[in-house]
Amino acid sequence: MHPTRWGDPAEAALLPQATRDLVELVLGVRDSPAIESVELPGSSLSQEVLAELRALLGDDQVVLDDDSRRLRTRGKSTPDLLRARAGDLTDAPDVVVRPGSHDEVAAVLDLAVRHRIAVVPFGGGTSVTGGLVARREGFAGVLSLDLCRFKALREVDKVSMTVVLEPGLRGPEAEALLAEHDLTLGHFPQSFEYATIRGFAATRSSGQSSAGYGRFDALVVGLTVATPQGTLELGSSPANAAGPDLRQLVLGSEGTLGVITAVRVRVRHRPTVKVYEAWQFDSFASGSDAMRGLAQANLLPTVIRLSDEAETAINLASQSDVGGAAPTGCLMIVGHEGTDPELVEARRGLVTGQLEKLGGANLGEERGRAWEAGRFHAPYLRDSLLDVGVLVETLETATFWSNRERLYDAVKQALTATLGEKTLALCHISHVYETGCSLYFTVAAPGGDAPLETWAEAKAAATQAMIDAGATVTHHHAVGSDHRPWFAQEIGPVGVQVLRAVKRELDPAGILNPGVMVP
């Protein structure tokens, strides 16, 4: 991706004049172009270390040029982008290495231990919580361990409906390989076009079709992991009672305990029928109750998401203007997928009946199709707004149904209290369970002279509000370095001791992504 923006530069677009006029009216406009060319300092690693890396991997797989290092500096959160746009690339790795096998990964880790080099596993670079910013203190340098050469579909088991994927596959690459076997993962987070299989596993990612296919961690049945202490082979059966599930130590560990080199996952038959439609509810509360009703009746469709009144009003619910009168109240997107048209239609009929009974009005398929077409494009709008000095960021959480309203109000109040009256705080429910749901907030406010400091204050207030409300600090964005102080509050002192003990056992030298996740 572009070093100071999201995604493919060819997909970037200027803010439409009508949108710019509205933004100027509500939030104010202040042109803030990014500094596009910054020279990086030279690598701090010695020539002896670099020569040893080249001997292990080959000259072509040890990369020192500015462009490669710049592209592996931090992730794509708004603070990451603001620093990059200001020309601050001080977190750039000293070297990028590209191993091509599990044994080569293990050899790089051994070298890093011996020379005390911090190692940051790198996939698509889509982290939005500071997950790619290693602590430098006490280390000879920082090494970006890029898994871009791990691109194979190693095994297909159509009897068990599992496959083994290599960790460097990006979402579209994995789906293309699976399509050759008429299979799909069904995992489509907003970062789908750039994020990798390893990233999905290492952050416990959740895709937009999670209601039908499940979270990524629920799809994982086996892992191969290289650690400084040796190899972990995890997952020999679909379920077992052989002690605690060690796969759960790796899933969500963000490269702090080991480097994932293979993932065995559950797959489904590739759907031949897809129907996306829009529904309207009078209020966020009534729409939330309808979602809960579907979940607890075991009638969840493949996709279901509900925007609050504010997000619906500014047309982010479907992410596209399809013409006609804009919906009032709250917009819900519902998607049905499958391989049998009769079964899909039967399931759709049951969901439709339940939603109508719970107060919903069907708006048809046009807005649903518009949402599907634009489901991965929202981050490009953020770049356009940053260009005119508007501070835009997202944050997400999850809680039980009985606590949803309290959490929603607490986070919104924290954001507006710190960012001011001009703040736009939008929200949607993006993932649904029998017992609860996630809340995903999008925030826009004037950036001012110190946008980094402004957002840090708001983020701290909102995250503390989540903790105080008894919710989690993250549903699917992971902990990174940004959430680490509040993660410690969430799991408590004994939980912190457990994580630190596991870290000491698997990575006694502390080289793996230091400063990330582990409190």
Q: Sorting pLDDT into bands at 50, 70 and 90, what band is 33?
A: confident
Q: How far apart are CA 247 and CA 264, in angstroms?
A: 11
Q: How far apart are CA 191 and CA 128, in angstroms?
A: 10
Q: How far apart are CA 519 and CA 516, in angstroms?
A: 8
pLDDT at residue 390 greater than cutoff 60: yes
Q: Sorting pLDDT into bands at 50, 70 and 90, what band is 321?
A: low
pLDDT at residue 317 greater than cutoff 60: no
Handedness of CA 128, 131, 135, 139 (dihedral sign): negative
> What pTM does this model have?
0.95
Q: What is the pLDDT of residue 503?
A: 98
Q: How far apart are CA 502 and CA 25, in angstroms?
A: 52
Comparing 248 with 36, which gets the higher pLDDT?
248
Q: How far apart are CA 387 and CA 37, in angstroms?
A: 16
Quickly list DSSP for 7-76: S-GGG--PPPHHHHHHHHHHT-----PPP---PPPPP-S-HHHHHHHHHHH-GGGEE--HHHHHTTSS-S
**pLDDT, tens digit, for every residue of 410-452?**
999 999 999 998 899 999 999 999 999 999 999 999 988 999 9
Amino acid in position 349: G
pLDDT at residue 47 greater than cutoff 90: yes
**pLDDT, tens digit, for every residue of 151-210?**
999 999 999 999 999 999 999 999 999 999 999 999 999 999 999 999 999 999 999 999
* Domains of the chain: residue spans and CATH: 34-146 (3.30.43.10), 153-269 (3.30.465.10), 273-373 (3.30.70.3450), 379-479 (3.30.300.330)
Comparing 19 with 172, which gets the higher pLDDT?
172
**pLDDT, tens digit, for every residue of 54-83?**
999 999 999 999 999 999 999 999 999 999
In sequence order, the β-bridge partners of residue 398 are 438
What is the pLDDT averaged over residues 253-273? 98
